[in-house]
Structure 1
Amino acid sequence: MDVRRAQARGANASISNATTDEAASRQALPAHLPREDHVLKPESSCPDCGRPMQVLGEDESEQLARVAAAFKVIRTIQRKLVCPCCSTITQPPMPGLPIQRSIAHPSLLADILVSKYADHQPLYRQSAIAARDGVTLDRASMGRGVGQCEALCAPLTEPLRRYTMAATKLHADDTPIPVLSPGNRKTRTGRLWVYVRDDHRSGSTQPAQSGSRTRRTGKASILKPISPV
């Protein structure tokens, strides 16, 4: 009978806690995130009489944690085999890399690009962040990698640029930005021209698309197209 009363009190307490949480309008954590359970178990014997305890219930609470990104080294080992009869040697080829003879794995290049263009983290700041983990990322090498990745994306970005510029009507914006001038530790004014193709309000069914170009002040021609945004 005492156990039943204790179970009833536990159920009422759970309902009370749920009501309190609902009143506080606590936002539930995303269901797609993985869960890691830390189960806290009390002693199996009663602290008062020493008899075995029975399961009454449990309370759950969730906290949002973040697992910091970590560097690791991926070693690709190409084993060689030799035929003992005819001395034929075989070896699997090296998997292709975005930048040949580079130490940068595709995952590192992707992280550099996302951090630079989506999170607005300049390369020197990314280099300083990596240094906290004891990893040296040379800024010049990172810059070359960004340029080479841009060239690799050209088969995707160039058709999008042509599609955007082929519109009969474009929305444009001119944004001045400071650009480092190598050698004299000063900045010059650069310009970011953003073009948007979107005729939905005019009844067009064509998909919207945007792109951008850059130009340095004092130059007569546009330098190069930038990947559509």
Structure 2
Amino acid sequence: MLLEADLPDDVEALRALVLEQARELDVLKTFKAEVERLRAIIDALQRHRFGRRSEQLDPDQLQLGLEEVETALAAAELARDKASHKPTERPRKINRGALPAHLERIEQIVDVTDKGCPCCGGALHQIGEDVSERLDVVPTTFRVLVTRRPRYGCRACEGAVVQAKAPARIVESGLPTEALIAQVMVAKYADHVPLYRQAQIYARQGIELDRSTLADWVGRAAWYLRPLRDHILERLRRSERLFADETTAPVLDPGRGRTKTGQLWAYARDDRPWGGDAPPMVAYVYAADRKSERPGTHLGDFAGTLQVDGYGGYTALARRSDQIRLAFCWAHVRRKFYDLADTSPVATEILRRIAALYAIEAEARGAPAEQRRQLRNERSRAIVDDLHRYLDARSRQVSAKSKLGETMRYALTRWEGLSRFLDDGRVDLDSNVVERAIRPIALNRKNALFAGSDEGGDNWAVIATLIENCKLSGLNPHSWLTETLTKLANGYPANNVRELMPWAQVG
């Protein structure tokens, strides 16, 4: 800020100063306009994510878009601040006091060099200090574990040699520790970094490992871990209520020189919405196709409520077994009408009524099953019955071949399963639980493109199952996998794998 005393007396110098100030003002206006434009983009993306039009954008693509726009916004705000020579008036997003206590603290002291008083020259004494914490990182550091096993002999008995047994390993006579194998698996199946990219990352630190070598480690670990996935699937089969969904899993077909479309099926349980005490869990199973008999093969003698989307294979399963009751997903119904809402007042009205159901569910979430059932009977049943009458009447007024007619028929033909939640407080309004479990599979598919074989698809299912269950249990997948692989390599008894389950390690 210029003071009156700082102003030049010369007219030309004063004119030059005014011109310079004008240029700076123009620059500030440009930066301000850019900041406002970027903020508007962020607001629009946030509305897509959290507002009424959240169905339109893929959540993962949205995150990518937000990352780039917010990065650009930060750069524009910094440029504006530098040009104006003052900090921004808008408070920055900061993360104070959230650094975990278990992290190592490396202290550095920034002190004055002269501890003499600037006024009288006397000795200064400390009266306090300012302490700030910043999050630092040490890039992935490799180290070599050297294992020495001394051999002992007896001078009196030449044939007597004593030596400790070599520690068991997942990869016998191989380079990796179980911690490194766990790191490779977590990077691939939780962080979605393909093996060839991991090999490139390691090469930057001078560790030359072929992609095929990493794949060999993962395959060996999957062999050890498969009984744990099978145990989880067996536990799920004994549940009274499950969610099911499936997604494509492109698999290389070497004989044809192209990929074929396999399927990864997900079966999940989550009783937390109604206060159940059973641990949440999910199991993935790979299959080479989407034939209707696959769910029956996977679920075996399961008896109870299966909450699913509208795929006909589940309907066929329920027809074959009178022990299975289907509960259909309202989110899928809503999504189909949502696509028509811009051109159809009927679809808009149906969405309004479905939204009323979800508002009631928000109040019921976490309540005991019986309380949820009572609330639904008091408030949701009338909405469902009225919506059924509305759909039935409107369906007679539109062409059965129109998109709206097809969508209404989709809902009406599944009405019994859509109404199941009214009579059972343990049933959810939708199958979003299993859709969330499917999302990591879709992310990995985008990054890795395809599995190398049907066996590779099965390994994918095994490892993804265990990593996702660690996440559901609030465990660090790397720590759990390292410990579990070490136990399995040392011959952990197969009949005790239940003690290795992620939920068994909590509390």
TM-score (norm 1): 0.75
2:274 and 2:97 map into 1 onto residues whose CA distance is 41
2:272 and 2:129 map into 1 onto residues whose CA distance is 55
> How many pairs are equivalent?
206
* Pick aligned residue for 2:110 from 30, 40, 47: 40
Say if 1:179 and 1:188, in contact at 8 Å, map to a contact too: yes
The corresponding residue for 1:196 is 268
Say if 2:99 and 2:135, in contact at 8 Å, map to a contact too: no
- Give the Å deviation of 1:178: 2.8
1:117 and 2:189 are equivalent in the alignment = yes
Say if 1:178 and 1:189, in contact at 8 Å, map to a contact too: yes
The corresponding residue for 1:81 is 152
* Pick aligned residue for 2:288 from 198, 216, 222: 216
Could you say which structure has the higher strand fraction? 1
* Pick aligned residue for 2:98 from 29, 49, 62: 29
CA pair 31-196 structure 1, distance change in 2 beyond 3 A: closer
Could you say which structure has the higher helix fraction? 2
SS in 1 for 2:249: strand
The corresponding residue for 2:138 is 67
In structure 1, give the amino acid aligned to 2:234.
Answer: R
2:134 and 2:277 map into 1 onto residues whose CA distance is 45
In structure 1, give the amino acid aligned to 2:155.
Answer: P
1:206 and 1:50 map into 2 onto residues whose CA distance is 71
- Give the Å deviation of 1:193: 1.0
In structure 1, stretches of 5+ residues that fail to align are 1-23
- Give the Å deviation of 1:123: 0.9
CA pair 31-105 structure 1, distance change in 2 beyond 3 A: closer
CA pair 131-183 structure 1, distance change in 2 beyond 3 A: farther
- Give the Å deviation of 1:209: 2.6
CA deviations over 1:95-125 (Å, ceiling 9, x no partner): 1112212111111111011111111111111
* Pick aligned residue for 1:145 from 192, 206, 217: 217
CA deviations over 1:5-31 (Å, ceiling 9, x no partner): xxxxxxxxxxxxxxxxxxx97531324
Say if 1:188 and 1:217, in contact at 8 Å, map to a contact too: no
Say if 1:196 and 1:209, in contact at 8 Å, map to a contact too: yes
1:63 and 1:181 map into 2 onto residues whose CA distance is 50
In structure 2, stretches of 5+ residues that fail to align are 1-92, 298-453, 469-507
In structure 2, give the amino acid aligned to 1:67.
Answer: V
* Pick aligned residue for 1:96 from 165, 168, 192: 168
SS in 1 for 2:221: helix
CA pair 57-181 structure 1, distance change in 2 beyond 3 A: same
In structure 1, give the amino acid aligned to 2:96.
Answer: Q
Say if 1:177 and 1:191, in contact at 8 Å, map to a contact too: yes
Report the more deviating stretch, 147-156 or 179-188: 179-188
Say if 1:29 and 1:64, in contact at 8 Å, map to a contact too: no
Question: How well do the aligned residues superpose, as a CA RMSD in angstroms?
Answer: 3.1
Say if 2:262 and 2:290, in contact at 8 Å, map to a contact too: no
2:274 and 2:126 map into 1 onto residues whose CA distance is 67
SS in 2 for 1:108: helix
1:134 and 1:158 map into 2 onto residues whose CA distance is 38
CA deviations over 1:171-194 (Å, ceiling 9, x no partner): 211212333334766332222111
* Pick aligned residue for 2:252 from 169, 175, 180: 180
1:46 and 1:142 map into 2 onto residues whose CA distance is 63
CA deviations over 1:29-87 (Å, ceiling 9, x no partner): 32412221101222233466554322232222221111212111111111122222333
1:106 and 2:178 are equivalent in the alignment = yes
1:56 and 2:127 are equivalent in the alignment = yes
Say if 1:130 and 1:136, in contact at 8 Å, map to a contact too: yes
Q: How does 1:8-19 map to 2 (within 5 A)?
A: none
* Pick aligned residue for 2:204 from 113, 116, 132: 132
2:282 and 2:95 map into 1 onto residues whose CA distance is 38
2:288 and 2:180 map into 1 onto residues whose CA distance is 30
In structure 2, give the amino acid aligned to 1:130.
Answer: Y
- Give the Å deviation of 1:198: 4.2
- Give the Å deviation of 1:129: 0.8
Report the more deviating stretch, 106-115 or 155-164: 155-164
- Give the Å deviation of 1:204: 6.4
